[in-house]
Structure 1
Amino acid sequence: MSKSLYIAEKPSVAQEFAKALKENFRRGDGYLESEHAVVTWCVGHLITMSYPEKYDAKLKRWSLETLPFLPEEFKYEIIPSVRKQFDIVSGLLKREDVATIYVCTDSGREGEYIYRLVEMMSGVKGKERKRVWIDSQTEDEIVRGIREARDLSEYDNLSASAYLRAKEDYLMGINFSRLLSLKYGNVVSGYLHTKYTAISVGRVMTCVLGMVVRREREIRDFVKTPFYRVLGKLNLNGKPFDGEWRAAEGSRYFQSPLLYKENGFKEKKHARELADILSAHPPLQAVIEKIEKKKENKNPPLLFNLAELQNECARLFKISPDETLQVVQELYEKKLVTYPRTDARVLSSAVAKEIHKNIGGLRNYIHGQSFAAEILEKGSYKNIAKTRYVNDKQITDHYAIIPTGQGLAAINRLPEKSQKVYETIVRRFLSIFYPPAVYQKVNLVTLVEKERLFSSFKVLIAEGYLKVTGNSFDRKKEDSGEKGEETSCDAAFLEALQSLKKQGVIPVDGFEIKEGETSPPKRYTSGSMILAMENAGQLIEDEELRAQIKGSGIGTSATRAEILKKLVTIKYLGLNKKTQVITPTLLGEMIFDVVNASIRSLLNPDLTASWEKGLTYVAEGDITSEEYMVKLENFIKSRTYGVLKLNNQYVLRQYFDKAAQNYKTSPGRSSANKKKEGKTNGAVNN
């Protein structure tokens, strides 16, 4: 009797498949078997790409003469530590009684690659192969995935892009790391007084390093500019409020060179001059020129993809993107949430039709039960397919991260951090079934001595979805991000404002000058860096605008956290665990200067994103693997030959010196100078 073989990515996932198959399984060594099925597992990657010395023993020694290294055919090998499990899986793949292979590795490019390597190294032929593609590990979803499994060949383009991604990272890493280490390693180690410095370069990691170093240098070079605003102290029924002066058209200062911006002066004396003019004729009064009243709706934010969740967890819990991924992966494996490594922030139309099941399950979750019950009672989920939260065109592999409504028995056994992340996902999900929050806004323009004062007010009049978003663990309202949004007046004052009429008069208690100053750019946090990587190097803080950005970013949802972690591990970046703020180290800045002087394009976010976009084109069948490889090899050749012609090693010292001034333990200075500079130039890295 022929059997079906199911290959999962991890033992725990294999167990879930075995449960879903509902057969009487017996345990073997590295697999489970029943009358009709065999279930086995990889343990992550079982195969890796071979180092250059496997091609030729002479390549073990790093030498400029052997670069660029571009093999015609790539070699692969079994990872020694998992050799036993590979042999087990390989043996099962080739068993004569196995007729159909169900590929059940994670539903994404990396999961595809893990299986394809095993199949390639095993030499499997003549078997029917089917791909199981699931969005959660619930029993219903596993059964559906098996029932609807497609022929594996339909995923050949995805497989091709996975192979290319690995080859690209391998070739850039091997060639450029060796090239720059041989060319500049002695210069770096000589400056730092270390024995040897191997320079680590990568397609994505070097670009990310560049983003952090550039931001740090922008902050250092930033010169604060003071400016001076004039504020009228207005008084309505005994309640004071501000009217900000602006040089609107008709003002005696309209487009004046004395201004920093329309609402501030470059020098305090000119602000004082204006305040004196406005105070010249007591009793001071402001005449109402214009009053504008309007309601403003604020919709619930889009659902979480991995990048958004990592940013939110860095903000709320001060945990790194890598930790967030570990937590949400655990939630996924415990059937609590859907597949985490997704770039989509919307649902599919197919899921929208069944979404009541997810909501219904949350009636058993303490922090979601009342909201879930209300949603089901009112039926607000029924029209969700017609909203911006459902869009098939915005989904490639998986829809957004949402709770499954299942697995809730495991909640209380989870670590506190995991429980908080789950609650955050649940509240974001449930909020999309609620109406917008509604604010009443009043904009007021008043006149004093022909100069205009501007005041604006905003008050929440209908809570809408905000009733869902305040987490149970918030210490204060501001922590919820949205529910704690400040309103500038209460309902009683709003009513008084709305009763005002044009040409009415408001008493003015006086005028004050308020000094401000321009602010430098903010340092990246681990979360904001993930968002910047997702948006091809742009830190777009506006949630609505981010949703409109299309195209591939730097890295993928599955790799960004690991890249950031590696940069910290190799000490190119520093990460403050309490604040999650990222800064460069001196070594990181020196590596930046080396790359900037040799292969500058590696620091370009747009170029790095274009490589990722190219992989997407391969996955979608728009270009071939051969076309991509030609472009890749030409890039590596041209940059390698370019660096080989350079003779700029010792010019770099001036850049190293400039960077070193910002660190307490900079090389090449006397202890007296170090002590003196330490008082003024504290270490930037945390």
Structure 2
Amino acid sequence: MRLVIAEKPSVAKSLAAVLGAATRKDGYLEGGGWLVSWCLGHLAGLADAATYNPDYAKWRYDDLPILPESWRFTIAKDKRDQFDVLRTLLRREDVTEVVNACDAGREGELIFRTVYCLAGCQKPMKRLWISSMEDSAIREGFANLRPGADYDGLHQAALCRAKADWLVGINATRLFSVLYHRTLNIGRVMSPTLALIVQREAEIDAFKPVPFYSVALDLPSFTAASARMDKKADAEQLKTACQGGTVTVKQIECKAKTEKPPALYDLTTLQRDANRLLGFTAQQTLDYLQNLYEKKLCTYPRTDSRYLTSDMAEGLPVLVNLVANAMPFRKGIAISCDVATVINDKKVTDHHAVIPTRNIREADLSALPVGERAILELVALRLLCAVAPSYIYDETSVTVECAGAEFTTKGRTVKQSGWRALDTAYRASMKNVETDKEAEDKALPELTEGQELPVTGAAVKEGKTTPPKHFSEDTLLAAMETAGAKDMPEDAERKGLGTPATRAGILEKLVSTGFLERKKSKKTVQLLPSHDAISLITVLPEQLQSPLLTAEWEYRLGEIERGELAPEDFMAEITAMLKELVGTYQVIKGSEYLFTPPREVVGKCPRCGGEIAEMQKGFFCQDKSCKFAIWKNNNWWAAKRKQPTKAIVAALLKDGRAHVTGLYSEKSGKTYDATVVLEDTGQYVNFKLDFDRQKGGGK
């Protein structure tokens, strides 16, 4: 028997269907000489600090840095049963070979190898490496399984990344939290990302707008504008001089211009467009795309490539036609397929660009959830645009003269709509999606040099220089992708902050920890730093907020992957950095005024295990992603003319019940004592009365 281990149950089922493993067992499928089972994401992870020493359960400066000599893993409690299934299968005597079918990337390699090692397995290992969940791609992948040893470097890089993130996260978070007396989450990618946002806000705050003025002249069939002027009086004077007069055409310049089609999507460019056009967060886009991958409608999501490989060239025209026929917005637009524009073997690393699959032909797209359908349409649009002809137009620049001053205007005449016809049709089919103003056709009338035209109107236009814009997820993802790139070696495989696979998670963590806030402004959602975020970046040393640290790590991890750097040498660098940080960092003077005062914790959240603290309107979980709350003005309490106090809430959180005196009865108009019982549905917090146990709270 051969054992196949996938990352998720849904993927395992797809693989099993192709392999003929149709018999359902407890935690796996069997048939045709195959056993197919699955992990549930990360079944096991690096153990927490207290596993190495019980004293580490408390955060103390004297314990830092915490540097495990031999690393330990723990299995998640809710995933123990599935791990036991996998361990039993891996140890079965009739299993002669194991196939790693987890996602084809760094994390997928780590997920499989961790289970394989914890189960004590030493059986021959093969690797399934595919970019699509189509049946044909699965069959081809199994026909060309690669030796597991080919990916030893990938596993070492993944393990080093996990260990180094653990070391920086545990030690830096504890160091700064202990020194500044509040929880301050520090991360290798998280902190430099936060620094980018804080720096942008500082630039916006320091910006002082400067007014400027220009004169616009209304001429037959077009408008021309003067250069900017600093003084309004000068603009008014020019307007008066031109009003009712004539202009002379001084110069006409016509240039033929070509806009090549955009490249295919990698994950980051798709997340950026989905944020700008659809308002999706990076995490939502990744989730929708992952679902489409598992439904065999899109190729592998976590890719950093924007090209396809040469072996895909032959089948591409058929795919393009299938996709075009499935997309309502392309009706009436001729479809062409220039394969050469999207094929580049040298620019494809682990996975090619994100494209739809041939399964789009049979799929009922109307049955897809709205978010998934929107992402599929965006991916389809990009494929159709990428292989379409260029957009070609003539741009005409005209300069006219009036009252001794020059005025200019531009127009364009489209020669070939090309890929922009598809893009315009897509935007027109979408609600709330603006048309691309740059591409709007504004043809100028026929003009000749020396020609005179009457001025039918003149006006002074006033404007101001504008500050940098607040980051949106679109612009922040772009900044993360290029952060620190200019200071990295040219041959560095990965530059910037994080990877396409991790950036969405980083943004969500910054929001959930309260460092970032999403704030809607007009049609965009801005990412704004909290007061504590600004304070944290103020006290963090440069090395922890500079993108160079994480960019350097990614470069080093690439070397480990290729076998050019020993993992222990990389880990030694991390250890040395942390020893120096703990040994030399000095608390910034006056920092006690930097952070918001810590809130008093009254108990543990029954929903997520986080901290519940009292605030003005009630008692709330301090994890922003958890919605648990006991409101002071709750209707149930108000009817009893009582407000939950700190002591009552502490008892409810500790024991699930609290003895309360002086409750008001609406029926009798009298007061009484009773035990209040807390009931949390996971969505709502409810209360009920228990008269059986009148005293002692939960004792």
**1:578-605: per-residue Cα shift (whole Å, max 9, x none)?**
732111122222222232xxx2321112
Answer 1 or 2: which has greater helix percent. Answer: 1
Question: Secondary structure at 1:353's aligned position in 2?
Answer: coil
Structure 2 counterpart of 1:622, which letter? E
Out of 219, 227, 232, which is 1:268 matched to?
232
Distance 1:77 1:298 in 2: 54
Aligned to 1:241: 223
Out of 455, 458, 465, which is 1:518 matched to?
465
Structure 1 residue 50 corresponds to structure 2 residue 47? yes
Q: 2:289–2:301: 8 Å Cα contact kept in structure 1?
A: yes
- Following superposition, the deviation at residue 59 of structure 1 comes to 2.1
Distance 1:609 1:637 in 2: 21
Gaps of 5+ in 1: 186-196, 246-262, 540-547, 658-686
Structure 2 counterpart of 1:123, which letter? G
Aligned to 1:404: 357
Structure 2 counterpart of 1:40, which letter? S
Out of 128, 133, 137, which is 1:132 matched to?
128
Aligned to 1:15: 13
Q: 1:9–1:44: 8 Å Cα contact kept in structure 2?
A: yes
Out of 78, 96, 108, which is 2:105 matched to?
108
Distance 2:390 2:205 in 1: 42
Question: Secondary structure at 2:307's aligned position in 1?
Answer: coil
- Following superposition, the deviation at residue 285 of structure 1 comes to 2.7
- Following superposition, the deviation at residue 654 of structure 1 comes to 5.6
Q: CA, structure 1 residues 602+502, in 2 after alignment: closer, same or farther (shift >3 Å)?
A: same
Aligned to 1:251: none
**1:302-341: per-residue Cα shift (whole Å, max 9, x none)?**
1111111111111122121111111111111000000011
Out of 370, 383, 386, which is 1:429 matched to?
383
Structure 1 residue 585 corresponds to structure 2 residue 523? no
Structure 2 counterpart of 1:427, which letter? L
Q: 1:48–1:77: 8 Å Cα contact kept in structure 2?
A: yes
> Which deviates more from structure 2 when the two are superposed, residues 620-629 or residues 397-406?
620-629
Aligned to 2:631: none
Q: CA, structure 1 residues 506+221, in 2 after alignment: closer, same or farther (shift >3 Å)?
A: same
Distance 1:81 1:305 in 2: 33
Distance 1:140 1:471 in 2: 33
After the TM superposition, which residues 193-272 of structure 1 pair with which residues of structure 2 at under 5 Å, given as runs?
A: 197-231=182-216, 233-236=217-220, 239-242=221-224, 244-245=225-226, 263-272=227-236
Distance 2:42 2:184 in 1: 26
Question: Secondary structure at 2:100's aligned position in 1?
Answer: strand
> Which deviates more from structure 2 when the two are superposed, residues 146-155 or residues 571-580?
571-580
- Following superposition, the deviation at residue 474 of structure 1 comes to 4.4
After the TM superposition, which residues 29-428 of structure 1 pair with which residues of structure 2 at under 5 Å, given as runs?
A: 29-125=26-122, 127-185=123-181, 197-231=182-216, 233-236=217-220, 239-242=221-224, 244-245=225-226, 263-275=227-239, 278-279=241-242, 284-362=245-323, 365-367=326-328, 375=335, 380-381=336-337, 383-385=338-340, 387=341, 389-407=342-360, 408-428=362-382
Structure 1 residue 613 corresponds to structure 2 residue 555? yes
Q: 1:420–1:473: 8 Å Cα contact kept in structure 2?
A: no
After the TM superposition, which residues 490-529 of structure 1 pair with which residues of structure 2 at under 5 Å, given as runs?
A: 490=443, 494=444, 496-497=445-446, 500-509=447-456, 511-529=458-476
Structure 1 residue 652 corresponds to structure 2 residue 591? yes
**1:514-563: per-residue Cα shift (whole Å, max 9, x none)?**
21101011111122212221222689xxxxxxxx9974221111111111
Q: 1:367–1:423: 8 Å Cα contact kept in structure 2?
A: no
Gaps of 5+ in 2: 597-699
**Does 1 or 2 have the higher relative contact order (CA < 8 Å, sep 6+)?**
1
- Following superposition, the deviation at residue 35 of structure 1 comes to 4.2
- Following superposition, the deviation at residue 199 of structure 1 comes to 1.2
Q: CA, structure 1 residues 476+199, in 2 after alignment: closer, same or farther (shift >3 Å)?
A: closer
Question: Secondary structure at 1:85's aligned position in 2?
Answer: helix
- Following superposition, the deviation at residue 368 of structure 1 comes to 7.1
Q: How many residues align?
A: 589
After the TM superposition, which residues 475-494 of structure 1 pair with which residues of structure 2 at under 5 Å, given as runs?
A: 479=433, 482=436, 485-487=438-440, 489-490=442-443, 494=444
After the TM superposition, which residues 500-649 of structure 1 pair with which residues of structure 2 at under 5 Å, given as runs?
A: 500-509=447-456, 511-536=458-483, 551-576=494-519, 579-595=524-540, 599-643=541-585, 646-648=586-588
Q: CA, structure 1 residues 121+357, in 2 after alignment: closer, same or farther (shift >3 Å)?
A: farther
- Following superposition, the deviation at residue 111 of structure 1 comes to 0.4
Distance 1:321 1:57 in 2: 38
Distance 1:452 1:114 in 2: 66
- Following superposition, the deviation at residue 475 of structure 1 comes to 5.9
- Following superposition, the deviation at residue 348 of structure 1 comes to 1.5
Question: Secondary structure at 2:299's aligned position in 1?
Answer: coil
Q: CA, structure 1 residues 488+309, in 2 after alignment: closer, same or farther (shift >3 Å)?
A: same
Question: Secondary structure at 2:35's aligned position in 1?
Answer: strand
**1:214-239: per-residue Cα shift (whole Å, max 9, x none)?**
212221221111112233x1523xx2
Q: CA, structure 1 residues 68+431, in 2 after alignment: closer, same or farther (shift >3 Å)?
A: same
Distance 1:448 1:549 in 2: 55
**1:234-289: per-residue Cα shift (whole Å, max 9, x none)?**
523xx2411x33xxxxxxxxxxxxxxxxx32322223344555x54xx87332222
Aligned to 2:681: none
Structure 1 counterpart of 2:479, which letter? A
Distance 2:186 2:234 in 1: 53
Distance 1:458 1:216 in 2: 38
Q: 1:368–1:426: 8 Å Cα contact kept in structure 2?
A: no
Structure 1 counterpart of 2:350, which letter? D
Q: CA, structure 1 residues 327+96, in 2 after alignment: closer, same or farther (shift >3 Å)?
A: same
Question: Secondary structure at 2:247's aligned position in 1?
Answer: strand
Q: CA, structure 1 residues 368+227, in 2 after alignment: closer, same or farther (shift >3 Å)?
A: closer
CA RMSD of aligned residues (A): 2.5
Q: 2:253–2:396: 8 Å Cα contact kept in structure 1?
A: yes
- Following superposition, the deviation at residue 156 of structure 1 comes to 0.9
Distance 1:77 1:88 in 2: 16
Aligned to 1:669: none
Distance 1:39 1:620 in 2: 30
- Following superposition, the deviation at residue 612 of structure 1 comes to 2.0
TM-score (norm 2): 0.79
Q: CA, structure 1 residues 437+486, in 2 after alignment: closer, same or farther (shift >3 Å)?
A: closer
Q: CA, structure 1 residues 272+580, in 2 after alignment: closer, same or farther (shift >3 Å)?
A: closer
Question: Secondary structure at 2:450's aligned position in 1?
Answer: coil
Distance 2:512 2:260 in 1: 40
Aligned to 2:398: 444
> Which deviates more from structure 2 when the two are superposed, residues 584-593 or residues 473-482?
473-482
Distance 1:349 1:537 in 2: 32
- Following superposition, the deviation at residue 163 of structure 1 comes to 0.4
Distance 2:427 2:18 in 1: 35
Q: 1:459–1:487: 8 Å Cα contact kept in structure 2?
A: no
Aligned to 1:259: none
Structure 2 counterpart of 1:455, which letter? T
Distance 2:222 2:153 in 1: 66
Q: CA, structure 1 residues 477+75, in 2 after alignment: closer, same or farther (shift >3 Å)?
A: closer
Paired-residue identity, %: 34
Answer 1 or 2: which has greater strand percent. Answer: 2
Distance 1:175 1:481 in 2: 49
After the TM superposition, which residues 451-470 of structure 1 pair with which residues of structure 2 at under 5 Å, given as runs?
A: 451-470=405-424
